[in-house]
Amino acid sequence: MPILFTLMLVLMFIPIVASLAFMPYLTRETISFGISVSEETFRSEQLRRMRKQYATISLVIYIPLLFAGLYASMQSNTTLQGTLLGVVISLIAVISIALNILFHFKMKKIKASLPAAAKGKTVLAVDTSFHRQKLVLSNKWFFIHVGLTLASTAAALFNYDRFPEQIALKFDMQGNVINSAAKSYTTVLFPNIMQLLIIAIFIFVNWSILRSKQQLSAGDPERSVRQNAVFRRRWSMFTVLSGLAMVSLFSFIQLNMIYQLESSIILLVSLLIPIFVVLFAVALSFTTGQGGSRVARSETGSPVQPVNDDAQWKLGFIYYNPNDPSFFVEKRFGIGWTLNFAHPMVWLVFLGIIIVIALPAFLGQ
């Protein structure tokens, strides 16, 4: 069992660490460590060295932490194991943020010294027909998720008498039960409630991919439109498939409530699905890049300066622009989208996230 768990962690941690270390290579070529630059500048020798330095420092720090995580996964004491893994994961997250901020300010100084930056001429490219394209998969695909949820719900109600009087709700890393609750319709149908919440979240994500702000490269707008369309379609496909994987996981959890499967099977399935989601996301990041920057990449970088909105990006990764009605915008660090924190609706989204996180704990009492 510990070997299986360790192997699963390796499959999950290595892609995550690789994506963190090489993230500067995956961003748009008009953004360097959260600062807007031209593609020509992005490909300059100075910034190449900077990206290489970032990746080297990251790997020197993350690889020992990776081994520390593997050591933690092999501990037989589940409390110690959970604590050590939590510390390792927290350190990776904190160090990643610290490195991004450090290189962001370094890049800010470099940009100020660039001759092109002093000219102050920037270009904003807009395609008024962009949102008329088919940019995401239809939300009708989520009927599959809903169908699976309804089938699981009907099966649970039909087999209600077969559920044990005490239902396992939480397992440790070894597959042992550490929390259970008396049988009731709430506990029996808890996985179905979670499935509905997950479906709602993934539909919202798919909608947000469609509605996010259009960001095109002024150097070659037509190529940028094609890249951005591919970028949105691929991540929409990821949303539909990973959503189906998560909904299937809760159907499996409900199945286990009835048949009390082997702990090794529970652990295997419970880790395989998150691993699938992580590997899928990392593969998309490396093959597509932010905004589709790695799709049909040009051989030479354009000298055109992109629109300079650096002042609206706090520390290079928090977007705060009261004059922008956009709710979703592309991240400057990382792959995907982030929120305009000056938009009032953002706080309603956070409230919804808190409810989703708190609901399982409430129902599990």
Q: Average pLDDT of the chain?
A: 85
For residues 190 and 363, is the Cβ–Cβ distance under 8 A? Answer: yes
For residues 15 and 281, what is the distance between their CA atoms, to the nearest angstrom? 9
Pair of tokens at residue 299:
């051989």
Short-list 188, 184, 192, 190, CA closest to 152: 192
* 340 CB burial (10 A radius; 0-12, 13-18, 19+): buried
205-253 pLDDT tens trace: 999 998 888 887 777 788 888 889 999 999 999 999 999 999 999 999 8
Across residues 189-209, what is the average pLDDT? Answer: 92
The pTM of this model reads 0.84
For residues 223 and 53, what is the distance between their CA atoms, to the nearest angstrom? 30
Short-list 167, 174, 170, CA closest to 267: 174
310-357 pLDDT tens trace: 899 998 889 999 988 888 899 988 888 888 998 888 888 778 777 766
For residues 306 and 36, is the Cβ–Cβ distance under 8 A? Answer: yes
Q: Write down the pLDDT at residue 95.
A: 94
For residues 100 and 13, what is the distance between their CA atoms, to the nearest angstrom? 19
Backbone angles phi, psi at 348, to 5 degrees: -70, -35
